[in-house]
């Protein structure tokens, strides 16, 4: 059975198309996901795991305040910084009226700083292939 919506055939699936803007976010805190150990004597390691997972969670939460990431890469380390590539439908939601990401970078840094309890610098930029 086919349903027509405004003269077009509706389909039960969605497909991604080309042309999605790719962005890169860079942070100065480890955002790699980690798993807790089963050793009960390693409470410090478990706290480290929680901190890393909270950092990634808050990063994604901060990005999602403006747009839902459609595609996300794996966090990667680049010197002292961690990067995460992602795609959204419209990258303009991250930009201020002047076309820069400066205001959003400040908001994202403040969100992560508040969540982790220490200063975090976050920066969103267009992905360079």
Domain membership flag for residue 72: yes
Domain membership flag for residue 13: no
Domain membership flag for residue 96: yes
> What average pLDDT does this structure show over 9-24?
69
| pLDDT tier for residue 11 given thresholds of 50, 70 and 90 | low
pTM for the model stands at 0.74
Domain membership flag for residue 9: no
21 DSSP 8-state letter = P
d(Cα 126, Cα 111) in Å, to the nearest integer?
Answer: 21
Please check the confidence at residue 105 and state whether its pLDDT lies above 90: yes
Domain membership flag for residue 8: no
Here the CATH number for the domain that contains residue 71 is: 3.30.70
CA angle 75, 80, 86 (to 5 degrees): 25
Total domain count for the chain? 1
In terms of Cβ atoms closer than 10 Å to its own Cβ (0-12, 13-18, 19+), residue 5 is: exposed
Which residue range(s) make up the domain with 115?
21-126
Residue with the bigger pLDDT between 68 and 128: it is 68
In terms of Cβ atoms closer than 10 Å to its own Cβ (0-12, 13-18, 19+), residue 94 is: buried
The pLDDT tens digits of the residues spanning 26-82 come to 999 888 876 666 555 555 566 777 777 888 889 999 999 998 898 899 899 988 899
Place of tokens 């890169």: 24
pLDDT at 108: 93
């Amino acid at each position: 059975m086919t349903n027509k919506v405004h003269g077009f055939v509706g389909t039960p699936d969605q497909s991604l198309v080309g042309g999605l803007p790719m962005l890169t976010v860079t942070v100065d805190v480890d955002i790699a996901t980690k798993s807790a150990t089963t050793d009960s004597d390693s409470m410090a390691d478990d706290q480290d795991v929680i901190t890393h997972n909270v950092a990634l969670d808050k990063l994604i939460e901060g990005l999602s305040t403006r747009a839902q990431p459609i595609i996300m890469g794996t966090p990667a380390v680049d010197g002292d910084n961690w990067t995460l590539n992602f795609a959204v439908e419209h990258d303009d939601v991250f930009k201020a009226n002047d076309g820069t990401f400066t205001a959003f970078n400040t908001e994202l840094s403040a969100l992560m700083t508040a969540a982790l309890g220490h200063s975090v610098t976050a920066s969103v930029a267009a992905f360079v292939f």
